[in-house]
Amino acid sequence: DGGITQSPKYLFRKEGQNVTLSCEQNLNHDAMYWYRQDPGQGLRLIYYSQIVNDFQKGDIAEGYSVSREKKESFPLTVTSAQKNPTAFYLCASRGMTGPNQPQHFGDGTRLSIL
Amino acid sequence: GDSVTQMEGPVTLSEEAFLTINCTYTATGYPSLFWYVQYPGEGLQLLLKATKADDKGSNKGFEATYRKETTSFHLEKGSVQVSDSAVYFCALSGLSGNTPLVFGKGTRLSVIA
């Protein structure tokens, strides 16, 4: 079945450590997105990419970095500069054939501080 | 810019009650409109969509009609179940489809037996 796979499901970060969240899709979608969701809150866009080797900052990019070396993969690194990383992180993808295309979401990664 | 406004939650209903979650939008032209559902600890799932005025999206007993005159896309269900307890997000896509969806803040629904 086609879909989006996020791993790991749970991740713990120590002080001063960078951690990388994985996102892989086999939907042949051009665009991919990373969102942060805090408890009881909505979605905030971190980064997005519409094509390989290109990406744009979202609303809360500080303390995060991404790469898009392959169409299928869009990993997110939470750097030590992100002082409050505890949150639920969601990856999404979308076909770019028109405005009626929905975004498809993975099951999320929950990141906590040790 | 484009924006989506949803009714504040949480919404608490008894089983078999009628559900309405209001959603209004501001956008240039005629965007595509979506409702997503998020169950606890999971990602968002597409519930339904409508791509032009007067379209009605429907799925799993939920319905929403694209109302251009009132710029609204309210979600309704005639008889909710405990299993419908979740957070519901309204979203729109701009005309080009080249930018991320714009999401509302979400409305938490709790259905009690």
Whether the CB-CB separation of B6 and B105 falls below 8 Å is answered with yes
> Could you tell me which residue, A112 or A16, shows the higher pLDDT?
A112
Mutation target among B25, B52, B55, B101 for the A interface, most CBs of A within 10 A: B101
Mean pLDDT of the A37-58 span: 94
Q: Which residues in chain B have their CB less than 8 angstroms from residue A50's CB? A: 98
Instruction: Please indicate if any CB of chain B lies within 8 Å of the CB of A46.
Output: no
Q: Cβ A43–B103 below 8 Å, yes or no?
A: yes
Q: Cβ B100–A58 below 8 Å, yes or no?
A: yes
In this complex, how many residue pairs, one in chain A and one in chain B, have their CB atoms less than 8 Å apart? 64
Cα distance between the two ends of chain B = 41
Q: Which residues of B44-61 are buried (b: 16+ CB within 10 A; e: fewer)?
A: bebbbbbbeeebebeeee
> Could you tell me which residue, A97 or A42, shows the higher pLDDT?
A42
The 8-class DSSP code of residue B82 comes to G
Q: In this predicted structure, what is the pLDDT of residue A31? A: 94
Residues whose CB is less than 8 angstroms from the CB of residue B99 and which lie 6 or more positions away in sequence, other chains included: none
Please name the member of B42, B94, B108 whose beta carbon is closest to the beta carbon of A108.
B42
Q: CA-CA distance, A25 to A35, in Å (whole number)?
A: 16
Instruction: Please indicate if any CB of chain A lies within 8 Å of the CB of B106.
Output: yes
Please name the member of A94, A101, A107 whose beta carbon is closest to the beta carbon of B43.
A107
Instruction: Please indicate if any CB of chain B lies within 8 Å of the CB of A99.
Output: yes
Q: How is B17-49 classified by DSSP, letter by letter? A: --EEE-EEEE-SS--EEEEEEE-TTS-EEEEEE
Q: Which residue of B has its CA nearest to A41?
A: B105
Q: Cβ A105–B44 below 8 Å, yes or no?
A: yes
Beta strand B32-38 with A54-57: parallel, antiparallel or unpaired? unpaired
Q: In this predicted structure, what is the pLDDT of residue B83? A: 97
Q: In this predicted structure, what is the pLDDT of residue A96? A: 81
Q: Hey, which residues 43-102 in chain B have their CB within 8 Å of chain A?
A: 43-46, 49, 51, 89, 91, 93-98, 100-101
Instruction: Please indicate if any CB of chain A lies within 8 Å of the CB of B104.
Output: yes
Rg from Cα positions in chain B: 14
Tracing tokens 């905030």 back to the chain, one arrives at: A44
Count of other CB atoms within 10 angstroms of residue A88: 19
Asked which of A2-11, A21-30, A99-108, B91-100 is least confident by mean pLDDT, the reply is B91-100
Per-residue pLDDT at A1 exceeds 70:
no
pLDDT per residue of chain B (113 residues) written in tens, 0 to 9? 899 999 988 999 999 999 999 999 999 888 999 999 999 999 999 999 999 999 999 999 999 999 999 999 999 999 999 999 999 999 999 877 778 999 999 999 999 99
Mean per-residue pLDDT of chain A: 94
Q: In this predicted structure, what is the pLDDT of residue B14? A: 98
Q: CA-CA distance, B24 to B5, in Å (whole number)?
A: 5
Q: In this predicted structure, what is the pLDDT of residue B39? A: 96
Q: CA-CA distance, A55 to B62, in Å (whole number)?
A: 35
Q: CA-CA distance, B105 to B1, in Å (whole number)?
A: 16
Residues whose CB is less than 8 angstroms from the CB of residue A74 and which lie 6 or more positions away in sequence, other chains included: A23, A25, A32, A34, A49, A66, A67, A68, A91, A93
Whether the CB-CB separation of A29 and A48 falls below 8 Å is answered with no
